[in-house]
Structure 1
Amino acid sequence: MNQVTINNKDYSFEEGQTILNLLKQINIEVPALCHDERLHPASVCRLCLVKISGVDRLQPSCRTLLATGMIIETHLAEIEKYRKGIIQMLTKDYPLNEVIKYPQKEFHRWVNYYGLTKEMENKTSSVIDGSHPYIQVDMSRCINCFRCVRICNALQGQFVWHVIDRGEESKIISDSKGRFAESSCVSCGACADSCPTGAIEDKQAIAFGVPEKTVRSVCAYCGVGCEINAGVKDQKIVGIHPVQNAPVNKGHLCVKGRYAWEYVYANDRITQPMIRRQNQWETVTWNQAIEFCAQKLKSISQEHGPDSIGIIGSARATNEDNYCIQKFARTVIGTNNVDNCARVCHQPTAKAMSMVLGTGAATNSFDDVDEATTILLAGANTTGSHPVIGARIKQAVLKGANLIVIDPRKTELAKYATCHFQLKPGTNIPLFNAMANVIVTENLYDKAFVNNRTEGWELFKNFISEWTPEKAAKICRIHPRLIREAARLFAKQSPSICFHGLGLTEHTQGTENVIALVNLALLTGNIGKPGTGINPLRGQNNVQGAAAMGCDPSVFTGMASVRTERQRFEGIWKTTLTAGKGLNLPEMLEAASSGRLKAMWITGYDVFFTMPDANHTKHAFEKLDFVIVQDMFMNETAEKFADVFLPCASSFEREGTFMNAERRIQKVRKIIPVPPNVKPDWEIVCNMAVAMGRRELFNFSTAQDIWNEIRSTWAAVYGITYDRLENGGIQWPCPTTRHHGTTILHTESFPREGGKAKLSAIDFIPTPEQATTEYPVILVTGRELYHFNAGTMTYRTAIKDICHTDLLHVNPEDAAAFGLKDGDNARVISKYGETILPVYTDAAIRKGEAFSPFSNNLVFINKLTSSLRDNYVQTPEYKITAVRIEKA
C-alpha cells in the first residue's frame, strides 16, 4: 500500500502523484504561485518547497513525486520564514489598493496570510490596458510567475505572451507590443483564468464581483460539449470558467463558451407569448397562446390531414425537449414530418456511417487525439469552429503527431500540417480514392483487418486501381506527389485518426464524401482501436442528440427505423402511429411551395435565415397558412412569417441533457431562474399536447421523467441515469447501470448483417455548380471563431465588438482585379440572389475562390447559396456557389 507521512499523519496516495497534488487533496495549503494543474510543473516561484526526511535540500512539492515511506514537513518555521521573504519581495512596487480591493486573488490571499500589507507602500495600478472587450491587462500587478505565457503556449497554443529582458528587468508583453486588443489573442481567457494576481483579468469579474456560488453545466455552443462552471450572484450569471477536470475540455474554453453568455440578458429577448393579428404582435397569456395554436393545428389537420403539418426540433435544445417534439409530431399530430437542423449539416455523416459501419456516430473519443500518431482533418477549420478540440489537435502536433489537412483555405492548422491539400472545392472523393489507390497498390493496407472485418474487397480493389494520384491531381488541382506522401503517412504512421466537418458533408456528394473517407480508415485498420476512427465534428451543442432522439422523419428515438420498428413504439407509447413516409425539412419547404404543407412549428432554429436559396425559402413560407416559432429572440423566420411566438428558456435556465460529438451524454443544470412567462421547450410541448387531448402521453413533471422514458425506448442509454450523470458524462452504448459507457465503438465487430463493414466504390460526379464566365468565382461559406451559426446569441454579446460582421475573404490578386481593397463593400451576385458585405483580402484563399461566414442577418449570405442538395439526404450544398464580385 502506498503511504506517506505528512506533518506526523499517515496518508495513502496514488502512483505518480505529486506531493502538492496530495496536499491539495488533504486540504493542506501551501503557496504555489507558478503552479496550474493544467500545466507541467515549472517550480519557478519556489514557494511550495517542503522538507523531506533524509534529503538535504528543500524540495518543490509541485514536481516531486510521492514515494512510499516518505516523511514530509510542510510548515516548518524555516520554510515559512523563507516563503514570507519571497512573497515580501514580490510585493515591492505592487499596488496595495488591488490587494485590498480583491482579497480573494491567490497572490493577495498569501500577502494577507503573512501580514505583509502593512509593509506595502500605498501604490496604485499604473497603466491599465482596457482595449480588449473581455480582458483587462494591468502589468503593474505582474509577479513574473509566467503562468500566462505557459498556459497560452501549452493549452491554447497561441503564443501571445512573451518574456523580454532578464533577471529583475524581465517583464511580460503580448505579441502586439502595444494594445492587447491588437495582439493575436483568440480570447479563450486561459491566461486570465490562470493569473494569480489579476494582472490579466476578466472584465466580467471586475464588473460583477465574486460569485456567491458556482453551478456545473455544459456549454451552449458547439458540439464539443465543454463543461462549464457558471458563477452566480443575486440569481444572475456573473462569469463562466472551465471545469478543471472535465474529460472533454480539460480545463479549457473558447471565447464563446467563456464570455458570450450575455445574450441571456439581452434587451430584445422575448419573455411573453405573442400572437400576430393584422400584422401586429399582441402579448397574450400562455393559456391563450396554447389554445390558439391547438385549435389552429386541429383545424388544419382535420381539413388537410396530419401530413399537412411539419414539426422542427432544435439542435440547441436538450435531448428531453427533442424527444417530446418528435413524440408530439407522431402521437398528437399523427405525422412523421419531423426534422431538425442536423439535416442541413450533418445528416450525410449519419447516413454514410450507418450504411458502412452500422452506426451513424463518432467511433472514438476526443481523448484519442492524444493517442494518435497521425491526424487527418478534412473539411473543418477546427480552431475556428470547434476551438477547444482545435487546440488539442494543435498541441498533439506540437508534441510530434503528423497532421494531414484537407481544406481549400490555408486554415490555422494548415500552417502546422505535415501535408496540406488546398484542393479545388468539391473534389474530396478523387483525393480519397487516390489515397486509397496508393495504399492498395503499394501494399500498405491492413490485410488481416480487410480480410476479417470488411466485405466488398475485390470489387473495391478493381475499382480503385483506376484512381491514380495523377488522375485525381488534375481534378483536385494539387500535386500527385502530395497524395502519395499523405497516403503513406496515414497508412504507415498509425494509429491514424480522422476528424471531418461540413466541408465534407455540405455537397451534392456529401454522403459519398464521408463513405470515401471511411474507406481509408477501413483499408488501414484504423477503426476500433485507441487513436483511430472516424469522428465527425458536430456544429451545435446537441446536433447528435436531436437526431438520436428521433427528430428525423425516418427514425424514432435511438435511430430506430420508422419502417421496421413502428409496432415496438406503438407498444411503448400505447397509441397507433402512422406508417406514412415523413418529409424532411427541404421536402417540407417543397411541399409548402406546392400548397401541400399548410403549417409549421419551429423550435430553436432560424429556418429562413439558414436554409440556402433564401428566395425559394421565402416563397415556401409565404404559402403556409400557419407558423409557430419557439425561440428566445425574434429571429428572421419569426419576424417575417410567424403567426405565434412562444418564448423558451435558455440552457442556463433548465434541466436536461446534451449529447456531444463523441456520444457523451452530459447533465445540463439549471443555473439561474427562468424569466417569468418563459418556459422550457418540453413543457411548452406538453402543454400543447394536453390542449389537443393527449395528456396521457405527455404526463411529465420533470426533465428526468422524460429521460427515464427515453431510457425505456433506447437500450443503448438505459444505463445512463440522472444520478450517474451527477458524477460526469457517459458515452453510449451504456446498456446497464453498472456499465461504464463505451469510449471506442466497433472493437470486435460492426452492427451490420454479418458483422463486417463495407468497402464501397464511390465514383466522382462533379457538382453542376461550376464557375462560368458570368459567375467566375466559387464562394465557400462556413463558420468562424467569433460568431455562432445564425448569430442569434453571439451578436447579442460583446463579441460583436471583436468581430463586427461577416467578411468576404478574397485573394489579394482577385481583389485588385475587382478594384477592391480591405474594408470596401463588395456586391456578390449569384444565380439565386445578391448581397453586400465588406472585403478582407486574404492570401489563405486561392485565386478564383472566396469565403464568407453566414452569421450576420444584415449580410444574409444565404441569399446567394444554391438549391442543390446531397444525393442521399438532401443536405444543401452550401460549400459551392458560383458568384461574381463587384465593387458596391
Structure 2
Amino acid sequence: MFRLTLDGKPLVLAKRTSLLDALQTAGIDVPHLCHDARLKPFGACRLCIVEVDGEARPVAACATPVHDGMRVRTRTAELETLRRTNLQLIARHYPKEAVLAEPLHPFHRLLAEYGVEAGGDVHRDLFHDDSHPYIGTAMERCIQCYRCVRICEEVQGQFVWEAWGRGEGTRIAPGKGGTLLSGGCVGCGACVDTCPTGALFDKRVTAEPDNWTRTSCVYCGVGCQMEVGRSAGRVVAVRPANSPVNRGHLCVKGRYAFDFNHADDRITSPMIRRDGGWEPVCWDEALDFTARRLQEIVDRHGPDAVGVLGSARATNEENYLAQKFARVVIGTNNVDCCARVCHTPSAKALKTMLGTGAATNAFDDIEATNAFLLCGANPTENHPVVGARIKQRVLQGARLIVVDPRRTELAALADVHLAVRPGGNVPLFNAMAATLVEEGLVDRDFVAARVVGFADYVAFVADYTPEKMAAVCGVAAGDIRAAARLYAAGRPSMCFHGLGVTEHLQGTEGVMALINLALLTGNLGKPGAGINPLRGQNNVQGAAQMGCDPASLTGAQSFKDAGPRFEAVWGRKLPASHGLDLLQMMDAARDGELKAIWAFGYDIYQSLADAAETGTALSRLDLLIVQDLFLNRTATFGTVFFPAASVFEKDGTFMNSDRRVQRVRQVLPPPGDARPDWWIIQALAERLGKPDGFAFDGPEAVWNEVRALWPAGAGLSYPRLDNDSPNWPCPDERHPGTPVLHADHFADGKAAELARIPFVATPEQVDDTYPLLLTTGRTLNHFNAGTMSYRTPNATLAPSDTLDIAPVDAAAYGLKDGDIVRVRSRYGHACLPVHVTPAMRPGQLFTSFHRPDLFVNQLTSSVRDRLVHAPEYKVTAVRLEKPDG
C-alpha cells in the first residue's frame, strides 16, 4: 500500500503508479503537454512539475513513481511561475492566429489559463503534406512534445515520424519518404489523436460534434471501442475510446471509414422487383408481399424449403431473432451465417477437442506471452489494433513464428518464417508435432495430467518428420524444427490463426493439428498461451453464438442438452429435421429443393466461392429477400429489398474475438424508412401470424431472453455492459468473467484427446494448363466485399485489388506494375492490375476481393472443408492471359 498526501489530502493506492496518475486519481488537475497515458513517461515539457518533500527541486509528476509517505504540493506560487515561464518559452515561435481560431486545443487552453500570448515568430521550412485523405499537417504549430513520434513507435509500431536536427533547428517529419503515405503511414490517426496543438489534424472534421456516443466498431472482430461524433444529423468524427481491447487506439477503417453511412446510393425505402426493376413501396406492402410469398412456399413445399442467413454486421440480438424466426415462425433449422465460410472450422475444431468453440485466451494475454505462433493470419492489416499489440510485444523481446505463404509485415519481423505452400498446413503442423516428440520438447507433466491418446499419437506422427514433410509443405526441415523449438521454449506461447488455416479442404483439421501442438507443450489453460482464432468481421463470433447455425442453438448449445429449455421459453417444439448450412442451401437451391432465402447484411453472391455456381443457385429461387444498406450483388437476384439501419443507427451488442460482449449504441436515427434488423424480423413474424415471442420493445429485452437461455452469458446484463466487458463464460453478475479457458479442466472433462490428422491433398492442383497457385485475403484499407470501405476515402488509399506476383514470375510473363492481366481458373476469370513484390514466392499469386466490379470470386473453386463445408478460398490453380483489346 502507498499512503500519500496530495495538496493536504490523503490518498491510499494499492499499487505503484506514476505521481501524475495518482494526482489524476485524486481529481487534482496538473498541467501537462508531453504526457499521454498510452505512452512511456517523457518529462520534457516540465509543466507537470510538483514539489515533493525531501526533493531539492520540483520533479516531473509524469516521470516520478509514487512511494509510501510521499507529501506533494501542486499549485504553489513558485510552481505556477515556472509553468508560466515554460509556456512562454514553448509559445515563443507559435502562431497567434492558431490560438484565436481554435481555442479548445489543450495547448491553447493552457496559454489562456496562464495568460501567455503566442510569440508569432513562426519557424519556416517545415514539413507540409496535403496528400493524405485523412491526416492534415500544420507543423508551424509543432511544439516538439514528441507525442506523435512516440505514439507511432510505442502504440502503432510504424516509426513514421522522426525528429530531424537539434536544438532550435529540430523539426518533426517522416523518417522515410517525402509524404506520410510514402513514409509508411497506415492512417491509424494516433498522432492526430495525441497532438495537443493541431499541428496534426483530422481533415475530415469540418464541423465540431455536438454529441459524442460510445459504441463498438463495425469492421473486424477485434471489437475496438470508439466514440462517434455527430453534427447536423450526420456522423462527422470518430475517436478511440479506452477499453481492454484497443486501449485508446483505432485503425484507419474504424477511425475514418464511416462515410458509407451517408452514401448517396443508400437505400432508404422497401422495394419489390416488378417487371424486371425495383419499385419502391411502403413497409406494409413490402411485409404483406413477403409474408404471402413465404407462406405459399411453406404451404406448398414445407418449411425446409426456406433458409435464413444471419449476419456478422448485425447485432447479437438481431441474430438471435433471426434464428428464432427460422425455427419458430418458419419451422426449419435451415439457418446459418457467414461464420460458415471463415471460422466455423475453428469453432468445430475447438468444440470437438476442448469443448468450447471459441478463443481460449483474452487479448490481454498478448503482453503476457513469451512467443507467438501466428498461422495463416496477417493481423497488422486484417486486425490492425491486435496486430500492433503483437508487434509491440515482439519489439519488446517476444519470439515470433509466422506461418504464411507471403512475407507479411510480421513475417519480416519473425524469428522464423515458414512460407508454407498453400494447402500444406496439416503436414507442416504434424511435422512440428513430430519434432516436439522426437526432440523431447513435450510438456510431460501436462500431458500426463490433461491429455489422452499420447501413445497412439506418437506412433501416428512418426511418419510426419520434417525431413519427410519438407517437400510436401514447401518448408525446409531445419526451419520446421527451429519453429517447433521456439514454440516449445516460449511457454507460455500464444497461437493466433486466421483464414489461411481455416479456408482449406482440411481447414477444421488444420485447427485440430494446431490444438495438438498446444496440448503437447502445455500451452492451454494459462495466461499468455492458447489457441485463438482471429475473427474476421465485427460480429461473426456473435452471429454463430446466437444460434445462426443449423446444428446448434444459442450459446453453441446442443439440441439434446438445451432443446427442452428452449422449447419451454419459446412455447413451441423445435424443428425435428436436420438443417442445411449455407453451402448446402446453395446446393439445394441449385437443385430446386430450396425455394426461398432471407439474407440480411450478407452479400452471398459477391462473397461465396465459385460465383458461377452461386449465381445459378440464386437464380433458381422463387423468393430472395435481401436486407441491407445498399443494392449489393446478391440483390441482382432479389425479389424484395428491406432497407436496414446501420451500426450507427441502432442499439444492441456485438461479440468480439476474445469472447467479450460489448455495447452498440445508437448515434442517430435511420434515414427514411430504413429500420433496424430486429424491427424488421418482428414485423414479418407478426405478418405471418406468429407474433408471440416477437413483441420485444427493444434490444435489451431480446438480450434478457438470450441470457435466460445461455447460462454462460447470464451475467452479462446491459447495466453491467455499460461499464464492463468481461469475457464469457460469465454465469452471474457477480462473476468476474473468464479471460482464460480450460485452466483446470476442459469443458468436456479433465483431459483432451490428441487428434490424429492424416494429410489429404486438395484436388485443386497446378498443372501445365494452370501452373500458378492463387490465394486470396484482405488488405488494410478495405473490408470484405467493399460495401462500406469503398464508399469512403479509403478508396483513394487503395483504389483497386491487385494481383501480387513475384519478380521472377513477372519477368517470365513480361509484366510490370500496373499492367492489367486476365487471371483464369477452372471456374472463371477476372482481370486485375499487377503488383510486383518480393513478398510473393515464385509460382504463387495473391489478391484481395474488395472491389465488387473485379469480382475475384469468379476464380475460386468449389472445394470445401471436409467437415463443415467452408470453401477453400486459399488454393486455386490459375493461369495468366493477356486481356482482350
**What is the alpha-carbon distance in structure 2 between the residues aligned to residue 345 and residue 732 of structure 1?**
22
The code of the aligned residue for 2:872 comes to E
**What is the alpha-carbon distance in structure 2 between the residues aligned to residue 82 and residue 755 of structure 1?**
64
**What is the alpha-carbon distance in structure 2 between the residues aligned to residue 177 and residue 75 of structure 1?**
45
Report the CA distance between 1:281 and its aligned residue.
Answer: 1.2
What SS class does the counterpart of residue 602 from structure 1 fall into?
A: strand
Report the CA distance between 1:7 and its aligned residue.
Answer: 2.4
* Alpha-carbon contact 2:234-2:262 (below 8 Å) kept: no
* Alpha-carbon contact 2:776-2:873 (below 8 Å) kept: yes
Report the CA distance between 1:486 and its aligned residue.
Answer: 1.1
TM-score by length of 2: 0.98
Q: 2:144 corresponds to which residue?
A: 144
The code of the aligned residue for 2:152 comes to C
* Alpha-carbon contact 1:96-1:124 (below 8 Å) kept: no
Deviations 1:665-695 (A, max 9, x none): 1111112222231111011000000111111
After superposition, residues 344-355 of structure 1 pair within 5 angstroms as 344-355=341-352
Q: Residue 650 in 1 paired to residue 649 in 2?
A: no
* Alpha-carbon contact 1:498-1:535 (below 8 Å) kept: yes
Report the CA distance between 1:232 and its aligned residue.
Answer: 2.3
**What is the alpha-carbon distance in structure 2 between the residues aligned to residue 49 and residue 177 of structure 1?**
37
Report the CA distance between 1:472 and its aligned residue.
Answer: 1.1
What SS class does the counterpart of residue 481 from structure 2 fall into?
A: helix
The code of the aligned residue for 1:692 comes to L
**What is the alpha-carbon distance in structure 1 between the residues aligned to residue 32 and residue 610 of structure 2?**
58
Report the CA distance between 1:70 and its aligned residue.
Answer: 2.0
**What is the alpha-carbon distance in structure 2 between the residues aligned to residue 166 and residue 861 of structure 1?**
51
Report the CA distance between 1:712 and its aligned residue.
Answer: 0.9
After superposition, residues 64-103 of structure 1 pair within 5 angstroms as 64-103=64-103
Q: 1:174 corresponds to which residue?
A: 174
Deviations 1:562-600 (A, max 9, x none): 355433322221112211011111111111111101111
Q: 1:633 corresponds to which residue?
A: 630
Report the CA distance between 1:126 and its aligned residue.
Answer: 7.8
**What is the alpha-carbon distance in structure 1 between the residues aligned to residue 35 and residue 118 of structure 2?**
27
The code of the aligned residue for 2:101 comes to K
Q: 1:790 corresponds to which residue?
A: 785
Q: 1:158 corresponds to which residue?
A: 158
Report the CA distance between 1:119 and its aligned residue.
Answer: 5.5
After superposition, residues 223-302 of structure 1 pair within 5 angstroms as 223-244=221-242, 246-302=243-299
Report the CA distance between 1:702 and its aligned residue.
Answer: 0.8
Q: 2:216 corresponds to which residue?
A: 218
Q: 2:830 corresponds to which residue?
A: 835
* Alpha-carbon contact 2:126-2:171 (below 8 Å) kept: no
After superposition, residues 308-387 of structure 1 pair within 5 angstroms as 308-387=305-384
% identical equivalent positions: 51
* Alpha-carbon contact 2:93-2:118 (below 8 Å) kept: no
The code of the aligned residue for 2:558 comes to S
Q: Residue 739 in 1 paired to residue 743 in 2?
A: no
What SS class does the counterpart of residue 731 from structure 1 fall into?
A: coil
Report the CA distance between 1:123 and its aligned residue.
Answer: 9.9
Q: Residue 193 in 1 paired to residue 189 in 2?
A: no
The code of the aligned residue for 1:770 comes to Q
Q: Residue 755 in 1 paired to residue 759 in 2?
A: no
878-887 or 399-408: which moved more? Answer: 878-887
**What is the alpha-carbon distance in structure 2 between the residues aligned to residue 598 and residue 278 of structure 1?**
20
Deviations 1:399-429 (A, max 9, x none): 0000000000000000110110011111111
What SS class does the counterpart of residue 697 from structure 1 fall into?
A: coil
The code of the aligned residue for 1:573 comes to W
Q: 2:115 corresponds to which residue?
A: 115
**What is the alpha-carbon distance in structure 2 between the residues aligned to residue 503 and residue 630 of structure 1?**
30
* Alpha-carbon contact 1:125-1:141 (below 8 Å) kept: no
The code of the aligned residue for 1:417 comes to A
What SS class does the counterpart of residue 187 from structure 1 fall into?
A: coil
Report the CA distance between 1:494 and its aligned residue.
Answer: 1.1
Report the CA distance between 1:235 and its aligned residue.
Answer: 3.8
Q: 1:28 corresponds to which residue?
A: 28
**What is the alpha-carbon distance in structure 2 between the residues aligned to residue 300 and residue 564 of structure 1?**
32
What SS class does the counterpart of residue 465 from structure 1 fall into?
A: helix
**What is the alpha-carbon distance in structure 2 between the residues aligned to residue 177 and residue 538 of structure 1?**
34
1:847/1:125 CA distance change after superposition, 3 Å: closer
Q: 1:522 corresponds to which residue?
A: 519
**What is the alpha-carbon distance in structure 2 between the residues aligned to residue 804 and residue 737 of structure 1?**
47
Extract unaligned runs of 5+ from structure 1. Answer: none
Deviations 1:426-456 (A, max 9, x none): 1111111111111111111111211221111
864-873 or 456-465: which moved more? Answer: 456-465
Q: 1:39 corresponds to which residue?
A: 39
What SS class does the counterpart of residue 769 from structure 1 fall into?
A: coil
Pick from 697, 700, 703 the counterpart of residue 701 of structure 1: 697
Q: Residue 462 in 1 paired to residue 459 in 2?
A: yes
**What is the alpha-carbon distance in structure 1 between the residues aligned to residue 609 and residue 436 of structure 2?**
38
**What is the alpha-carbon distance in structure 2 between the residues aligned to residue 217 and residue 549 of structure 1?**
20
What SS class does the counterpart of residue 282 from structure 1 fall into?
A: strand
* Alpha-carbon contact 1:175-1:184 (below 8 Å) kept: no
Q: Residue 672 in 1 paired to residue 671 in 2?
A: no
**What is the alpha-carbon distance in structure 2 between the residues aligned to residue 8 and residue 496 of structure 1?**
47
Q: 1:860 corresponds to which residue?
A: 855
Pick from 677, 681, 694 the counterpart of residue 681 of structure 1: 677
What SS class does the counterpart of residue 463 from structure 2 fall into?
A: coil
The code of the aligned residue for 2:713 comes to V
* Alpha-carbon contact 2:545-2:555 (below 8 Å) kept: yes
After superposition, residues 481-520 of structure 1 pair within 5 angstroms as 481-520=478-517
Report the CA distance between 1:625 and its aligned residue.
Answer: 0.8
What SS class does the counterpart of residue 204 from structure 2 fall into?
A: helix
RMSD: 1.5
Q: Residue 305 in 1 paired to residue 302 in 2?
A: yes
**What is the alpha-carbon distance in structure 2 between the residues aligned to residue 176 and residue 104 of structure 1?**
32
What SS class does the counterpart of residue 33 from structure 2 fall into?
A: coil
**What is the alpha-carbon distance in structure 2 between the residues aligned to residue 698 and residue 133 of structure 1?**
45
What SS class does the counterpart of residue 674 from structure 1 fall into?
A: coil
Report the CA distance between 1:464 and its aligned residue.
Answer: 0.8
Q: Residue 869 in 1 paired to residue 867 in 2?
A: no
* Alpha-carbon contact 1:511-1:872 (below 8 Å) kept: yes
254-263 or 234-243: which moved more? Answer: 234-243
Q: 2:50 corresponds to which residue?
A: 50
Q: 1:824 corresponds to which residue?
A: 819
1:461/1:49 CA distance change after superposition, 3 Å: same
Q: 1:478 corresponds to which residue?
A: 475
Q: 1:615 corresponds to which residue?
A: 612
* Alpha-carbon contact 2:189-2:255 (below 8 Å) kept: yes
* Alpha-carbon contact 1:373-1:401 (below 8 Å) kept: yes
**What is the alpha-carbon distance in structure 2 between the residues aligned to residue 8 and residue 531 of structure 1?**
42
Q: 1:451 corresponds to which residue?
A: 448
Q: 1:773 corresponds to which residue?
A: 768
* Alpha-carbon contact 1:97-1:122 (below 8 Å) kept: no
What SS class does the counterpart of residue 559 from structure 2 fall into?
A: coil
Report the CA distance between 1:344 and its aligned residue.
Answer: 0.6
The code of the aligned residue for 1:869 comes to R
* Alpha-carbon contact 2:416-2:483 (below 8 Å) kept: yes
What SS class does the counterpart of residue 92 from structure 1 fall into?
A: helix
What SS class does the counterpart of residue 20 from structure 1 fall into?
A: helix
Pick from 699, 720, 724 the counterpart of residue 720 of structure 2: 724
**What is the alpha-carbon distance in structure 2 between the residues aligned to residue 335 and residue 9 of structure 1?**
66
Deviations 1:90-124 (A, max 9, x none): 22231211111111111111112222237546999
**What is the alpha-carbon distance in structure 1 between the residues aligned to residue 740 and residue 815 of structure 2?**
50
Report the CA distance between 1:812 and its aligned residue.
Answer: 1.1
